[in-house]
Structure 1
C-alpha cells in the first residue's frame, strides 16, 4: 500500500531522519583548541574560548560551556557548532574567518510553532574579530544563490535538491532516502562569507526543525557543505541536534526576464 505523501502526518520526525544522514560529514578538526576569540559587532562583544573538546562562550545574552565540533571550510575559515548544555532550546553556530578577521554568530532557538512562525528561529549577529586585521567584504545577507538548483548527496542513501527562489524562500525535494517524494517550500536566510562561500539557513514548517549550513560553491561541480539540524523529536519533548555534510552539484540556473528577477 502506497503512502499518501500529501498527508504530512506521515512525514518522518527529525529523529527518524538522523540514522545514516551524516555519512558524508567531513572530519572534525582541532585547530581552534587553545584559542580565544572576541567578536565585536551586532549586540556587543561576544567571547568564545575553545579547548580540545569544549567551548566556553558568552553571546547574545547566553553563556555556558558545551562540547563542540569544528570543521575546516576553506583556508583559515571554520564552522563550529554546539548544543547548549545550559539552555537545551539553544544550538549555536559560529563562523570564524581568520584570514579576513570576521565572524558570524547564529543562535538557533527552539520553541513551539504558532500561526505565522516556525518552531526554530535564527538569531544572526555578524562582527569583526578583535586583534585580527579585517579584509574582504563584511559578512552580510546575500541574494547570490537565487536562481540556482543544486543537487545534494548526504549519504549513499540520502539525496535532495534545493531550488533557491528568493531572499525569503527555497524549495526542497527528496530524491533518495526515507523521505523520497516529499517536497516543500520553506523560509531561508543566506549570508555570503567570502566570494562563492555561503551560509544557508532554513526553518521548516511541517517538521519542527531548522538548519544552519555553510557551503563552498566556488567549484559548481564539487560543492561541499557542512551543517547541523536542530528540532524536536517525534514526541515533541526532547531536542534533537546533529551535524552532517553533503557533496553538491549545480544542476541549473534560472534566468528571469528583465524586471522579474526575484533577487532584485
Structure 2
C-alpha cells in the first residue's frame, strides 16, 4: 500500500517503524550488575511491590497477594543512581511496565501501559492504549529521601529535534499539559504528523519522563529524557501496542539524541 500522509489508513503499522529505530539506543545495563538487588516500592495508597533482580530476570510480587510474576527485563542507567527498567509481562501480554528507580532519592515512578483496556486510575483520553502513573518510595532507602516524581510543565513550549537513527528523525512540539505534536522529518513516516495525548513528570531537575498515547497507530511510549544540556539531549524509551493483526503485542526499546530548536510562550 502506498503511504498517503493525508490518509492515516495508509500509515505504517507499529511493526513498520521498529526496524532501525533503535540505532541510537544506549547500552543496556548487564543483568549481572543488578542481580541480587531487591527494591520494594510503596505508593500513597499503601500498595507495596517487591522487585527482586535474580538470574537475569525480574521477580515481582504485589504483596497484598493480588499478583506476582517473573519476567525478562531491559535496564538502562540514565544518570548516577537512576535506573530505568522495561518489562513486558509474559503472563499479562497486554500490559507493559516502565519503572524509574531513583536510588539516590529513594523514590520511584512506575508507568503501567495497557493495550485495549483502561484500568482505574489511567490518564484521561480515549485511545487504544492507556497509561497509569504511580509515584512511590523505595522502602530499602536509607537516609534523607528526595521529592517524589511529580507532574511538570517544564517542557511546554519547547520544540525538540530527535534523531533515533541516521534515517529516523522527528520533531516534537510540547503544546500543553495534555497534548504534543510530532512530525517525521526523515524515515519511513516522513511527512506524517499528528497531535497526541501525553503526560510529563519530573524525576530530577532537568530529567523528565515524557509519555504519549497515539490514536492512529495505537501505541504507548514512555521515555526518560535528560534535558540538562539542551544542545545535547539524550532519551531512553520504549514503544508498546497491538501487533498488525491485533493478535499479539509489540514491545521494543529505543533511544534518541536531541537538541532544542526553539521555545514558544503560550
TM-score surpassing 0.5?
A: yes
1:54-109 CA-partner distances (Å, limit 9, x unpaired): 10113495421111000000011010001000100010111000011110111111
Structure 2's unaligned 5+ residue stretches are 119-124
CA drift at 1:3: 4.1
CA–CA distance in structure 1, aligned partners of residues 248 and 74 of structure 2: 21
The match for 1:156 is 166
CA–CA distance in structure 1, aligned partners of residues 129 and 144 of structure 2: 32
The match for 2:122 is none
**Mapped contact 1:203–1:209 kept (Cα < 8 A):** yes
1:112-143 CA-partner distances (Å, limit 9, x unpaired): 69xx6111111111111112134333211111
Structure 1's unaligned 5+ residue stretches are 257-264
The match for 2:127 is 118
CA separation of 1:52 and 1:23: change in aligned 2, threshold 3 A: farther
CA separation of 1:127 and 1:2: change in aligned 2, threshold 3 A: closer
The match for 2:217 is 207
1:146-201 CA-partner distances (Å, limit 9, x unpaired): 01000000011101010001110000000110000000000001100000000010
The match for 1:261 is none
Q: Secondary structure at the match of 1:95?
A: strand
The match for 2:40 is 38
The match for 2:28 is 28
The match for 1:47 is 50
CA–CA distance in structure 2, aligned partners of residues 136 and 81 of structure 1: 23
Of residues 84, 88, 112, the one that matches 1:107 is: 112
Residue 243, structure 1, aligned to residue 245, structure 2: no
RMSD: 1.7
CA–CA distance in structure 2, aligned partners of residues 190 and 3 of structure 1: 31
Q: Number of residues paired by the alignment?
A: 254
1:17-47 CA-partner distances (Å, limit 9, x unpaired): 1011011110011332210011111441111
**Mapped contact 1:226–1:245 kept (Cα < 8 A):** yes
Q: Which moved more, 1:236-245 or 1:1-10?
A: 1-10
CA–CA distance in structure 2, aligned partners of residues 120 and 166 of structure 1: 20
CA–CA distance in structure 2, aligned partners of residues 188 and 47 of structure 1: 28
Q: Secondary structure at the match of 1:211?
A: strand
Q: TM-score, normalised by structure 1?
A: 0.92
CA separation of 1:78 and 1:255: change in aligned 2, threshold 3 A: same
**Mapped contact 2:223–2:238 kept (Cα < 8 A):** yes
Q: Which moved more, 1:4-13 or 1:27-36?
A: 27-36
**Mapped contact 1:128–1:134 kept (Cα < 8 A):** no
Matches within 5 A, 1:109-188: 109-111=114-116, 117-132=126-141, 133-188=143-198
Matches within 5 A, 1:90-101: 90-101=95-106
**Mapped contact 1:102–1:134 kept (Cα < 8 A):** no
